[in-house]
Chain A
Amino acid sequence: MPAISNFLTRRGAALLATSRIWRATLGLAGEVVVAAVSPAVYNSATRTVVMKQIYFTAVQILVPFTLFAALLSFVLIQIVVGTAANYGLSDYALEMVVRLLVLEVLPLVTALFVALRSGSAINTEVALMRIHNEIEALEDSGVDTLRLEFMPRVIGGMLSVLSLTAITSVLALVLAYLAVYGWQPWSLPDFSRVMGQVFDGAILTSIWLKSLAFGLAVTVIPVAEGLATPKMLFMAPISVLRGMVRLFFVLMFIEVASLAFKYI
């Protein structure tokens, strides 16, 4: 009996801790979104910090990530176009490529990349700030940490996901055109017709919402997990581990929800 009681107590405590962190995450996401759309929040310092954050999160990785996305897109396009030709489905190759790459693979790969590169760094930074009492020190000296520390990171991450998704998607469309129609411009009307069929209003809205949700997740979850870190140095790597696992499941959940919305 005591074993069962201990087990239930432990599970209950874990469940309460999980619900606390989810509440904190949703609360932080709401606060950041409200702050980000409030012009009064953007004073000279906030603008400087946001610009630097955008540079380090989005611009610095633009070239290597775009090259990688081009390579991935090229390989996947060749596979899809080749397979479609083998089965006599060449007429559908372009639509399949666009649906596979632009609607699903590239937004997800971009979000995973930003999560690994910036999300993990943000989680570590915030966890160490909390462990070293820097967040309290900033607040004690009258600094609004949401405005100067957390919101710039979230904006940088969101813009990074949105801009990288947009750039790599355009690149994938160009590569898909070249793979299907070759190096000539006369098939642009056909290409435009297929694009019009794929990108209706609902699909465009869903891809924007999905990218926004990805961008919010890859920054808000690491910040919230960092803020929940117990004040012990050895907890920093555990905090990052938990943050990345939660982030992975949230990204996958968003992706599955988006697929269900589009195809079920």
Chain B
Amino acid sequence: MPLRANLSALDNIALIPQYRHNLDYAAASSLAWNLLLLAGQDGAALKRDPQLNPVERFVAKLLRAAIERPPIILIDRPALLLPDTHYPPYLSNLLERLSDHLNDCWILDYRWNEPLYPLPLPRPLALR
């Protein structure tokens, strides 16, 4: 799902615990800020969707999903979300940084892209 266009990346991520647990804005944005720092994208925190580049947008969407720590996060065909990025090592690195905040993370990609991924895949990554 796209980000809300009139909210910054930080606000988009913080909105999830605000909605699900009625967490106040200060606490929710602090959680979101920590995740952005961990992902190395704190520079994108105050940008709104139209100002984000594809990598920043991808990270914002991933963190929006990860902030609730769901049992599984599925990344569907990452090449569509990360054009012009050598995405297998980028994803591997990003998910390793966030590993303490993720349970299982599955990547759904075409079989012919399998050789692009570094093996063995670091936890919590699994290729489907």
Which A residues are closer than 8 A to B by beta carbons? Answer: 43-46, 48-49, 52-53, 56, 125, 134, 137-138, 143, 148
B25 within 8 Å of A (CB atoms): yes
B24 within 8 Å of A (CB atoms): yes
**B residues contacting the other copy or chain, number (CB 8 A):** 16
For the complex, give the distance between the alpha carbons of A53 and B18 in Å: 17
In angstroms, how far is the closest chain A Cβ from the Cβ of B7? Answer: 6
In angstroms, how far is the closest chain A Cβ from the Cβ of B96? Answer: 27
Asked whether B1 lies within 8 Å of A43 as measured between CB atoms, the reply is no
In angstroms, how far is the closest chain B Cβ from the Cβ of A160? Answer: 14
Which residue of A has the minimal Cβ distance to B27? A44
Chain A residues with Cβ below 8 Å from B28 are 44
Asked whether A43 lies within 8 Å of B18 as measured between CB atoms, the reply is yes
Asked whether A43 lies within 8 Å of B4 as measured between CB atoms, the reply is no
- 7 additional A-B residue pairs with CB within 8 Å, beyond A44-B19, A49-B4, A56-B6: A43-B22, A44-B25, A44-B28, A45-B18, A52-B6, A137-B1, A148-B19
Asked whether A45 lies within 8 Å of B1 as measured between CB atoms, the reply is no
Asked whether B15 lies within 8 Å of A49 as measured between CB atoms, the reply is yes
Chain A residues with Cβ below 8 Å from B14 are 48
In angstroms, how far is the closest chain B Cβ from the Cβ of A185? Answer: 43
For the complex, give the distance between the alpha carbons of A114 and B5 in Å: 19
Asked whether B4 lies within 8 Å of A44 as measured between CB atoms, the reply is no
Main secondary structure of the interface of B (DSSP, over half): loop
Asked whether B19 lies within 8 Å of A143 as measured between CB atoms, the reply is yes
CB 8 Å contact bits of B93-119 with A (1 = contact, 0 = none): 000000000000000000000000000
In angstroms, how far is the closest chain B Cβ from the Cβ of A228? Answer: 21
B127 within 8 Å of A (CB atoms): no
Asked whether B22 lies within 8 Å of A134 as measured between CB atoms, the reply is no
Which residue of A has the minimal Cβ distance to B14? A48
With beta carbons under 8 angstroms apart, the residue of B1, B2, B11 that contacts A48 is B11
Given A134-B1, A137-B1, A138-B1; A45-B6 close (CB under 8 Å): no
Could you say which of B1, B6, B23 has the most chain A C-beta atoms within 10 Å of its C-beta?
B6
Chain B residues with Cβ below 8 Å from A125 are 5
Chain A residues with Cβ below 8 Å from B6 are 52-53, 56
For the complex, give the distance between the alpha carbons of A148 and B11 in Å: 14
Chain A residues with Cβ below 8 Å from B2 are 134
Chain A residues with Cβ below 8 Å from B18 are 43-45, 48
Chain B residues with Cβ below 8 Å from A148 are 19
Instruction: List CB contacts (< 8 Å) of B17-62 with chain A.
Output: 18-19, 22-25, 28
Which residue of B has the minimal Cβ distance to A143? B19
In angstroms, how far is the closest chain B Cβ from the Cβ of A105? Answer: 30
For the complex, give the distance between the alpha carbons of A9 and B121 in Å: 62
Chain B residues with Cβ below 8 Å from A43 are 18-19, 22
**CB-based closest 4 A-B pairs:** A45-B19, A45-B18, A44-B18, A43-B22
For the complex, give the distance between the alpha carbons of A43 and B24 in Å: 9
Instruction: List CB contacts (< 8 Å) of B50-85 with chain A.
Output: none
For the complex, give the distance between the alpha carbons of A46 and B15 in Å: 9
